[in-house]
Amino acid sequence: MATSSARKMSPLPAPASRLWEASIRKLQTIRRVGTVAPAPGTVDAATPCLLSVSSSASNTIYQYHEDGEESDTSNEGGNDDSDAGDDDDAALGEPTHAEQLLPSGDFYQGDLRGDLPHGAGKFLWTDGSMYEGSWRRGRASGRGKFSWTSGATYEGDFAGGYMHGHGTYIGEFGDTFAGLWASNLRHGRGTQAYANGDVYDGHWRDGLQDGHGRYIWRQGHEYIGTWKAGDMHGCGTVIWADGDRYDGAWEDAKPKGQGTFRWADGGMYIGTWCEESGAVHADGVYYPPSGGPAVPVPREPCEPITALLQELEGCEGKKASLMPSHKILTWPGVEAVQKKPVWRPPKVSADHRRMSSASRRTSSASLDLDSLQAEAAESEETRTDRSCLRTSSCMRTPPRPGKKQGETISKGHRNYELMLNLQLGIRHAVGRQSAPTSLDLKSSAFDPKEKVWTRFPPEGSKHTPPHQSCDFRWKDYCPLVFRTLRKLFDVDPADYMISICGDEALRELSSPGKSGSFFYLTNDDKYMIKTMKKSEVKVLLRMLPSYYKHVRAFEHTLLTKFFGLHCVKLTGAIQKKVRFVIMGNLFCSNYAIHRRFDLKGSSIGRTTDKPIDQISEHTTLKDLDLNFIFRLEGSWFQEFCRYTSHLQNGTRCFAFST
């Protein structure tokens, strides 16, 4: 039978074909001698037996399995479950189609290769659970559908017997999840619709919301922002059904840190938020809505947030579905692949006080699949490693977590007062300005002489608050233009002020640029501040009309985004002027940055002379360090060409302006 199988298979390239033929001859010898084959009559005809082949460049070891017990023979460095290709599949035997009733009462109907399900097939358990779909070597792998006796179903990708890949789960109470899975857990991007009407769309990790996501409660409230382990955590926005909203920092589903509460009528409260004795407290400044009374009435921003949290705590999540007992979608006699244990989310007790509607409901949904969580699961990284391209040694080093780039500017730093002056000026310039009503600007708005000077005495003035810094003057260049640019780039004024003027200090980069300028980063990495020479300011102002026209015409421009151009002038005997521009940070991303490259299209001297152990995610690599081959889908390639065209148009814009 092995010889006929070899004739039917397509020719294999040497030496793979010779290895396969030698393997078949060795197997025939083993069976003929009877050293491994079971004694006649000891194998139940209804009990499938498995022959697994583990091949390497040096040897091939055969293991005959009976009643699910593997022999102790092992191949060091080999992989008993590797997808070696069609030659290994052929070694399992001829493809057939059959119906088989197992001693346990379970039933299988479908394709077999040798004695193993391989191809399309249906498996029915005695308790009523059923899997129908693709099989590979006795395990559910590929597209398929699993149905539980409770009425819950999963339809999508499987790998090694686990829900792994893209799929849709429908619970017995009507809750649904459509998205990515890893080892029976929600992991990646996906949308969860709960039975009570709530919806979450975003990223998951180990079965819990983690990353960026959007949660809509049935009452009409909405949260958009980052999550951690099932709770609102990080930067996020809550929009109430009546139009009120909170933008700021969260920790464990509670506001904590810098934040802004805005009422629907335009009133705004900017301050620091925290939790004391189980209640939300804020310390900040209230800005009344425009057109209000001359003497504004104080308003309490904590009341709506406290009411919302109480409302969410009292909202009952759906009960956990009683799923059937743990099911490993494998053929009898085929052991589950042993991998690392995966983390299981803790069970939520009945009397546990819910921190948020999202966290409780996520835990309940995780319990629905608790019976499916395997102690061993195939790692997606392991499967990716088998197919990834080889890279240079400096690229194979994984990123090491460390502190943020730059030196924090704290009290005693040489530029501490400069940072305070900058923050005071930004808060004054952005907080007092009204939003532009139109994107059409007159030519007078781009006049280099269009600038506003404001004095900031330490004791304060009619328009400026008292402060603990030195006396200084503040200048805004073309304020209307940059205010309109911020609107064009969808920059929220409150978020802009929180990023630059919040409690978290700026960070000064340790190595200044070749021009002698210094760079500063905000704590959230959104904005970069660069000091400028007077000549550089003139160039930027001269090209500003063309720049504005370009970014308005090309929404997805790759050019640097400018948000403001300012100057700080120290009064007194020093009379020092510091000009600076505020830009968007190109490296601000929700994704972890593993490597950074400075590509100039040259090969002379374009390599980084650093040992591997000194290369981190903050190291700037050069052209010759990039040892990748990028393979793009057709649509992605077209998108890449479109962005390249935008970049060319942008460079022309700079060339004509200068």
H helix count then E strand count, the chain: 12, 29
| Percent with pLDDT over 70 in the chain | 64
Higher pLDDT, 198 or 401: 198
Q: Lowest-confidence range among 60-69, 147-156, 271-280?
A: 60-69
CATH number, domain of 269, equals 2.20.110
User: Hey, what amino acid is at 570?
Assistant: L
- Phi, psi at 578, each rounded to 5°: -125, 115
Domain of residue 188: give its range: 102-213+320-347+355-369
| Tokens matching residue 63 | 């293991």
Average predicted confidence (pLDDT) for the chain = 70
Q: How many CB atoms lie within 10 A of CB 277?
A: 5
| Tokens matching residue 403 | 């502190």
Higher pLDDT, 385 or 588: 588
Q: Is 115 in the same domain as 74?
A: no
DSSP 590: S
- Within-domain flag for 636: yes
**Considering its fold, how many domains does the chain have in total?**
5
Q: Is 450 in the same domain as 553?
A: yes
Higher pLDDT, 372 or 111: 111
Cβ atoms of 230 and 239 within 8 Å: the answer is no
Cβ atoms of 272 and 258 within 8 Å: the answer is yes
Closest CA to 558 of 577, 586, 589, 536: 586
Q: Is 532 in the same domain as 413?
A: yes
- Within-domain flag for 237: yes
| Percent with pLDDT over 90 in the chain | 7
Q: Is 484 in the same domain as 542?
A: yes
Residue 407 and residue 507: Cα distance in Å, rounded?
A: 5
DSSP secondary structure string for all residues of 116-162:
EEEEEEEEE-TTS-EEEEEEETTEEEEEEEEE-TTS-EEEEEEETTE
Q: Is 435 in the same domain as 538?
A: yes
Q: Is 477 in the same domain as 543?
A: yes
What confidence tier does 497 reach under pLDDT thresholds 50, 70, 90? confident
Residue 639 and residue 647: Cα distance in Å, rounded?
A: 12
- Within-domain flag for 13: yes
Cβ atoms of 530 and 522 within 8 Å: the answer is no
Instruction: List CB contacts of 186: < 8 A, sequence separation 6 or more.
Output: 177, 179, 180, 192, 204, 207, 208
| Tokens matching residue 616 | 């981190």
Cβ atoms of 170 and 145 within 8 Å: the answer is no
Q: Is 165 in the same domain as 75?
A: no
pLDDT of residue 86: 54
Q: Is 444 in the same domain as 416?
A: yes
- Within-domain flag for 379: no
| Tokens matching residue 566 | 């300012």
Higher pLDDT, 618 or 385: 618
pLDDT of residue 332: 52
- Chain-centroid distance of CA 208 in Å reads 13
Cβ atoms of 276 and 264 within 8 Å: the answer is no
Residue 530 and residue 536: Cα distance in Å, rounded?
A: 11
Element (H, E) at 31: helix 16-33
pLDDT of residue 232: 85
